[in-house]
A and B are shown apart, each in its own frame.
Chain A
Amino acid sequence: MALTLGLAACGDGGTEAKPADGGSSAAASDTVKIGFMGDLTGPNAGIVIPPRNGAKLVIDEYNKTNPAVKVELVEYDSQGDPSKAVALAQQAIKTDKVASMIGPAFSGESAQVGPVLEEAEIPSITASATNTKLAENGWKFWHRILPNDSVQGPGIADFIAGAAAAKNVFVIDDKSEYGKPLADAVRAQLATKGAKVTDDSLDPAESDFSSVVNKVAAAKPDAIFFGGYYAAAGNLLKQLRDKGVKDAKFFSGDGSLDRGLIDGAGAPNAEGALVGCPCYIATPDVTDAKVKGFADAYKAAFSADPSIYAAEGYDAATVFIEAIKAGNTTPDKINTFIGTVDLAGVSKQVKFGPNGEVEAKDIYMYQVKDGAITLLGKAAEAKLG
C-alpha cells in the first residue's frame, strides 16, 4: 500500500505571515506547522483517515501540555490524485511554510510529491506508501515508517504457500503503482515455492470484473491474491463468491485492510478473507501497556478503535514532536534529528536507515472473522485456525 506521510514543519512562520523562506529564522517560532497529505475525502479515504487521526492525537496531546512551541497540523486533501498532491505540496511549502510533512499517503502521489519536498528540503515521513522504488531515489528528506512492498509481498506469499498450504494461486493486480509491484512480488516469491501461479489484471475504475472472475473460476485455484485497494477488492470478492468460487482463500495486501472490504463484499462473502500488512493494528484485546494506552486514547478521541496505519501515523507524528521537543524547529534540524531517532513507538521500534526506510521488517496477517478484521499475528509465525 502506498501511503506516504509527509510532515512538513516549517521552522519559522511565527504566529502568522512572517515572510520567512525555508525556515532558517530560528528562535522566533512559537508555532510549527506539520502537514498531513493524503486521500481524506476520496474513494480510499478509509485507509488515510486513521493515520491522520493518529497524528492528530499526538499533536493534540502535545499542545495540551502548553509547550513554548505549539504545533499545528495542516491537512492537505489530495484525494489520492498525484496532480492534486503536487499542487498541494507547493501550497504547503510556499504559502503555509510547513516544517515537515506526514504523507503523502499513497505511493503514486508520493512518487510525484517526493521530488518537490526534496527540493524544498522539507522532511517527510509516510505512514502508508509502500512502493519499494520510493526509497531508491536518493531522497535525503523522505522517510517511511513501515516496511515496503518488497518485504510485504514475499511475506504474504510465504504465508500463502506455507501456513495456507496453497499450491495453485491466482494473482490479480489493479495495474496501479501500488498493486502491480506488490502482486509481482507475490508472484515471484510463490514461483520460488513451487506454487502454480496464474495471473490477470483488472481496472479498478470498472465495476464489472466478470472476465477476471471467469478466469479464476476456470483455473480452480486454492488461493487468490489481489494487489489493490479495498474498494475494488470488495467488489471483486463479492463477484468471485457469487460466481461460485467459494473454497479458494482470498488474500490481499494492506490496501485492502479496511472495513470497506467487508462492506463491499458483504459480510458472508468476506468471512475468512486474509489480509497482510506491514502495519500493526491494535486490536481491543491487546495487553501491551503502551499499545493499550494508545488504543484507549484513540477510542476516546475518535469513538472508533484504531484501524489501519493509525499506529504508524501516531508514530510518525511522535517522531516530529520529539524533534520539536528537542528544540529542532526548522526542516533542516528536524531532518537531522530523524536520522538519529531510535524510539519505542506503538507500532514498532522506530529507527530509520540512511535511505529513509524504517529498520523493523515485520509483516502482520489479519483475517475477517464474524464480520470484523482481527489480528492473526506476524506473517512468519501466524497459523490458520
Chain B
Amino acid sequence: MLNDFVNQFWPATIDGLAFGSIYALIALGYTMVYGVLRLINFAHSEVFMIGTFGAMFVPFVLGINSALTGLALVGVIIAMILAGMLASAGTAIALERIAYRPLRKRGASRLAALISAIGASIFLQELFALLVIPEVFNRPQQGRIQMGLPRLMERTELFSIFGHSVRVDQVLVIVAAIGMMIALDALVNRTKIGRGIRATAQNPEAAVLMGVDINRIVRMTFFIGGGMAGVAGALYLISYENTNYYIGFLFGIKAFTAAVLGGIGNLRGALVGGVVLGLVENYGAIFFGSDWKHVISFTILVLVLMFRPTGILGESLQQARA
C-alpha cells in the first residue's frame, strides 16, 4: 500500500495538479457569481460544456486532422482558447439576461433562480444533443455520442521528475490555468471594474449610491466567470481530446465542490479548492482504488466543512480588502 503510494506519488501529483487546475478555473465562475449575487449558478456546468464545443469548433472549421508543430500549433491553441472563452462567456451572459435578470428584477426568491438554473442547464444539454452537435458539427444521429478531437499536439515529454515523465500538454494546462488566475486576481483587485465587483459584493445598495451600475457589474461577473470556464473547456479538450453534451455534469459538481472547499465567494479559495480536490482524488485512489475516488473527495469536503465551515481560505469576496 505505502509502496504503491511511493511509486505512484509523482504521476498522481502531476495529474492531480493538471485536473485540479481545470476544476479551479470552473470553480471561479461559481464563486464569483455567488460572491456578487448570493446565487449558485447551477447552469455553469453547461457554460463549461459549451466552452469545450467552442474550442472544438476551431479545428473542426479548419479541417485539421493531424498533429501540428511550431507556430501553427501555438496559433491554433490560442484560437481554441479564445473561441472557448467567447462561447462560454456569451452563454453565461445570455443565461444572466434570460434566466436570472427577469427573476431578479421581479424580486423572485433565490429558490426560483435555482430552478431557473436547473431548467436552463437541461435546456442547454438537450439543445446540444439534439441540434448543435448534429447540425453544426455535422454528426447526424450522433448528438449523444462522444465527439473526439484529432490529436493536435504530440504528447512529448518535456522533463521528468524522479523518472516520471511530465508531458507538454500537462504543463500547458497548469501554466495556462495559473496565468489566468493571476490575470483575474489583478483584474479584481486592481481595476475599476474589479472595484465595482467588490463593492457590489460587499453591499449592493451602497454600491448603487456610489454610482456603480449594478446590472453592468453583474453582467461583467457572468462574462468573466464564463470566460474562465471557456479557458477550462479549451484546456480540457486539448489534453483529453473528447467532449460530449453531458460532460458539464460531473465537472460542474466537482468544481462547485472545489469552490465550497476553498471558501465560496473567494477567488483564491477556488484555486486552492480545485487543486486540493484534484490531488486528493488522485492520492485517495492509490489507497482505496479508483472506484472510491468520489467517496474520498466528498468525505474530505465534509471533514473540512466540519472544522472550517467557511472553507479552507474562508474569506469571501465581499470581505476582501480593496
Contacts and interface: CB of A to CB of B under 8 A. Distances in A.
A141 to B, nearest CB: 30
B151 interface: yes
Contacts of A46: 145
B7 interface: yes
B315 interface: no
A206 B285 contact: no
A359 interface: no
Contacts of A21: none
Interface string A226-248: 00000100110010001110000
Interface stretch (B92-100, B104-112, B237-245, B299-307): B237-245
Interface stretch (B74-82, B203-211, B288-296): B288-296
Contact of A201 (B141, B145, B291): B291
A45 B19 contact: no
Most buried by A among B11, B165, B247: B11
B49 to A, nearest CB: 12
A214 B15 contact: yes
A217 interface: yes
A79 interface: yes
A212 to B, nearest CB: 5
Contacts of A210: 11-12, 15, 19, 282
Contacts of A263: 148
Contacts of A218: 4, 7-8
Q: How large is the interface on A (under 10, 10 to 19, 20 to 34, 35 or more residues)?
A: 35 or more
B12 A211 contact: yes
Centre residue among A43, A207, A214, A234 by max chain B CB count within 10 A:
A214
Nearest to A231: B146
Of A205, A208, A263, A264, chain B has the most CB atoms within 10 Å of the CB of A208
Interface in A166-196: 175
A211 B294 CA distance: 12
B16 to A, nearest CB: 8
Interface in A254-300: 260, 263-264, 266
Interface in B123-166: 141-146, 148, 151, 155, 165
Interface string B267-299: 000000000000001100110011101100000
A42 interface: yes
B239 to A, nearest CB: 9
Nearest to A175: B291
B11 A200 contact: no
Contact of B289 (A201, A238, A264): A201
B52 to A, nearest CB: 10
12 contacts: A42-B145, A46-B145, A202-B291, A203-B293, A206-B250, A208-B19, A208-B240, A210-B15, A211-B285, A242-B167, A263-B148, A266-B241
Interface of B: 4, 7-8, 11-12, 15, 19, 141-146, 148, 151, 155, 165, 167, 236, 240-242, 244, 247, 249-250, 281-282, 285-286, 289-291, 293-294
Given A45-B145, A211-B281, A211-B293, 6 more contacts: A45-B144, A205-B249, A210-B19, A214-B12, A215-B4, A234-B148
